[in-house]
Chain A
Amino acid sequence: RKEVEQDPGPFNVPEGATVAFNCTYSNSASQSFFWYRQDCRKEPKLLMSVYSSGNEDGRFTAQLNRASQYISLLIRDSKLSDSATYLCVVTQGTSYGKLTFGQGTILTVHP
């Protein structure tokens, strides 16, 4: 079983749609959680951290369910510029450990 699993998609949605991505992780000792965004042929960039209580940043909402080892990302009012690959990321420790990346979910927002 992969350490971090995501549905690779692709998700094709119209502008203005709401779209949700899910992710599961296998190591119950995981401590920190993130969503990264990677544009085509670019480096991954931190989109947001994910906290146990859930957190929101503008149109983006992230949720964490430790009991089910499940992370989600909700994007409301999708923009064309949201088209990218969204990477679910977990880490086992909180200091100089490795980040483990999911394969990524491809999102394409069309006019």
Chain B
Amino acid sequence: DTAVSQTPKYLVTQMGNDKSIKCEQNLGHDTMYWYKQDSKKFLKIMFSYNNKELIINETVPNRFSPKSPDKAHLNLHINSLELGDSAVYFCASSQTDLNYGYTFGSGTRLTVV
């Protein structure tokens, strides 16, 4: 039973399209995150939600819009995709106490052509 699951695993799309990535966790965690890992392998936080409320919003183009319908789900919608959006997007969740670290989903490899 997957703890943090995200779909799709791979996404290839043309510039200008709109796409969504879905994430669900069954760990009972209160906090969920989206991270982006670029071609240089840096993992950078994009957004964080705690109990459906946005608590972290890093400098991300407003073409990226997260949505959390409940604390077990955090989806990411991307409008007007650009070549530079190509990356691996990881969803993660954690307990409120960060001493236990994060649990990551398996990632969505997005390629914009």
Q: What DSSP secondary structure best describes chain A's contact surface?
A: strand
A-B CB pair tally, cutoff 8 Å: 59
* A residues less than 8 Å from B56 (CB atoms): 97-98
B13 within 8 A of A: no
Give chain A nearest CB distance to B94 CB in angstroms.
Answer: 7
Tally chain A residues at the interface, Cβ within 8 Å: 24
B101 within 8 A of A: yes
Q: Is A99 a contact partner of B41 (Cβ separation < 8 A)?
A: no
Q: Is B40 a contact partner of A103 (Cβ separation < 8 A)?
A: yes
* A residues less than 8 Å from B33 (CB atoms): 98
* B residues less than 8 Å from A101 (CB atoms): 42-44
When chains A and B are docked, how far (Å) is the Cα of A6 from the Cα of B64? Answer: 29
Contact for A94 among B55, B58, B97, CB less than 8 A: B97
A25 within 8 A of B: no
* A residues less than 8 Å from B45 (CB atoms): 98-100
**C-beta contact mask, B83-113 vs A, less than 8 Å → 1, else 0?**
0000000100010111101111111000000
